Structure formats: structure tokens, C-alpha cells
Amino acid sequence: MTDAAPAAGTASPSATGAAPLLQIRGLEKHFPQKVAWPKQSGLPVHQVVRRALVRRAALVRAVDGVDLEILPGETLGLVGESGCGKSTLGRTILRLLDPTGGQVLFEGVDITHQSQPSLRPVRRRMQMIFQDPYASLNPRMTVGDTLGEPLEIFGLARNRAERRDKVAALLNKVGLRGDAVGRYPHEFSGGQRQRIGIARALAVEPRFIVCDEPISALDVSIQAQIVNLLQDLQAEEKLTYLFISHDLKIVQHICTRVAVMYLGKVVELAAAAQLYSSPKHPYTQALLSAVPTLDPTTRRKRIILEGDVPSPMDPPKGCPFHPRCQVQNKPKACFDELPQLRKLANGTKAACHVAE
């Protein structure tokens, strides 16, 4: 992977004036805090009940008010430290997790509170590629059955012959040989399994795919192949991606725009080239300072953040990043007021009181 600009297949579609394919408005996903019961904690029942009542209001704010739009044909990168809420956001968008609050609109339709039966047509158009190719495939099903199952569920194959032909076409599309049909997942390498996972997502002809760290479990030598495959498929199938990753170098290569998450919130959103050349949020600056580069002219001074990420159950008052922020002489607003994601003069959006 080089420092080159994103490939042509990921060029921004914004110039076409297309309506957003996906809109997320104030999206929230909170989880109740787990309470240890007497056999686990060793405490008397009355003390456990008292603690449970006190903790009832304590929530893990995994996704805490996110606003995003994703345009048709683009790749939006989603980056941040582990535990910031990236994967939870992806799963909530697809309604694999039910939102606590906010809205998810897909193709202009509000799917936030749709029932599972009414979501079935939407499932065809929204798919996911999972992080772990070892755990995401059923070890008891052959590749042919794995790829044929969604074709049957959605009625995309009229008979066995058509199903067989479509499975063969899917394997060819992701660079696997036809004899893979009768084999089981344990007979493939990690990169091959991820190709099978990609083929399964493509089986129902989706428009939008959440790629949840699709290369993080793979060898470095295989990662570039999978990234190039995803870009080729995007151009051929006119796909739209939400690409979740902690690898900022890969994100720079494949993504049109990049959203940076911290403690359940998006703190910066910009075109990829703009974000990498001129990050505005102090957290983004710290993340990018850790990206290795061979070009001394683009090398940044390393920024070491102090302290740990605060608990999503008890975020700091004011800006959630202020306890770790490297900016000196911060204004009082950083400690008292939650910054909103606002548009700056250069077009970047940042949730920061000192971004300019």
C-alpha cells in the first residue's frame, strides 16, 4: 500500500448532487450496566438490590448522538480507538442492534423502528462484512450452502441449476475457484475465508455494505489484496461502503471521506485528503501523528495523549476529550460546554471549541 491518492473507484460523488443513500440523525445506542448477583459478587441480596437500583440509571453510552450522511457510491471511513463505538454504530445502522434514540433513514425511508418482518426487503440492500473470517462462517456448511442460503431466503434463484450458476459467479467475482463449492471453511486460508464472506454479502445484490474491520484479522501480505478487491467490486457493482477500521493508512487509501469517533461521538468529519493534510480536532491530530510514513516531508511530530479514555458510563463534563487534550490554555468552554459538530471555514466539520 502506498501513499497515493484514493483510486478512481472511490472518487467523491458529491459533485453529482445525489441525495444521501443513508442518513443518521442523533443516533444513540446505550447499554444498561451489568450488575453482579449474589452468587457472583458474594454480597447479600439486599445489598445487590440496592446497588442495582442505584445503577439503573447508569448506561454505557456506546453511540451517543451521531449525525452522518453517506452518499451513493462513496466510501465513508470510520476511525477511532478501540471501544469508541465504531462497530456498535455499524451494527445499529443495520438494525442488528435496536437504537436507543435518533433516526436511521435508508433510501429516504425511516427504518429506525421497523419490525423485523418489515425490515426483510431492507436486509437485501444493506449487508455487512465481518471482522473475523473464522467466526463469521458456519463451520458445518459448505461454501456452496453458505452462498446459496441467502439466494433461497430472498427468492433470487428459481431452481437448483440457477442457484448453482449464481454461486459459481459469486466465487469467480471474489477470485475463488469453482471447486470451492463443496469445501468447508476450515479448508481455506484467512484471506480466502474473507473472500467467501464478501461473496456472501454480495449474494443478495446490496447497495450498501458495512465493512467492519474486514482486514484487521488478516496477514499484512493479504490485506492489500482484499482492499483492492473491495475497490474493484465497488466500481463494478456501484456499491456504497461504511469502512470501519483502526488502520489509518488503509483508510487514507480507500475512503472518500473520513469520520473520527471518540467516546461514542463523531468529533471530526472531512474529505480524506483534507483530513490527512490538515486535521482540525486535537484528537485527530494525535491519531495521525502515530501513522508511520517513509516520506520525511509528511512526517508529523508524535503526540502522546495522557491518561486513559474516560468511561462511556461517566463521560467528562464539557468536551469529552478535554482531560486528554494536548492544547494548552484551553478556554473555559472546553470544561463546561459540549461542543457540537460544526462546519469550519475550510469545509471540515469538527466538534471542538478550539478547532480553528
Residue 57 has pLDDT above 70, yes or no: no
Local confidence band at 313 (pLDDT 50, 70, 90 cut-offs): confident
pLDDT of residue 228: 96
pLDDT of residue 293: 76
Q: How far is residue 354's CA from residue 356's CA, in Å, rounded to a whole number? A: 6
Q: How far is residue 340's CA from residue 268's CA, in Å, rounded to a whole number? A: 10
pLDDT > 70 in the chain, percent: 88
Most confident of 49-53, 101-105, 343-347: 101-105
- The structural domains of the chain, ordered by start, are 8-35+47-140+184-278 (3.40.50.300)
Beta carbons of 277 and 285 less than 8 angstroms apart:
no
Beta carbons of 228 and 310 less than 8 angstroms apart:
no
pLDDT of residue 307: 84
pLDDT of residue 32: 87
State the number of CA atoms in the 13 A half-sphere of 16 facing the CB.
10
Lowest-confidence pick of 1-15, 67-81, 117-131: 1-15
Q: How far is residue 316's CA from residue 337's CA, in Å, rounded to a whole number? A: 10
Q: The cell 502506498 sits on which residue?
A: 2
Helix (H, G, I), strand (E, B) or coil at 128: strand
Question: For residue 7, how far is the Cα from the chain centroid?
Answer: 20
103 phi/psi in degrees, rounded to 5:
-135, 145
Q: What is the average pLDDT across 136-160?
A: 93
Give the helix/strand (H/E) hosting 163. Answer: helix 160-173
**CA trace torsion 6, 9, 15, 16 (10° rounding):** -170
pLDDT, one tens digit per residue, over 26-56 is 999 999 876 555 555 566 766 666 655 555 5
Q: What is the average pLDDT across 125-129?
A: 96
Strand extents, DSSP E, 44-146 = 59-70, 75-79, 101-106, 109-110, 126-129
CA distance to 17, 31, 62, 171, 232, per residue, from 28 (Å): 28, 10, 8, 37, 33
Q: The cell 449464481 sits on which residue?
A: 166
pLDDT, one tens digit per residue, over 270-284 is 999 999 999 999 999
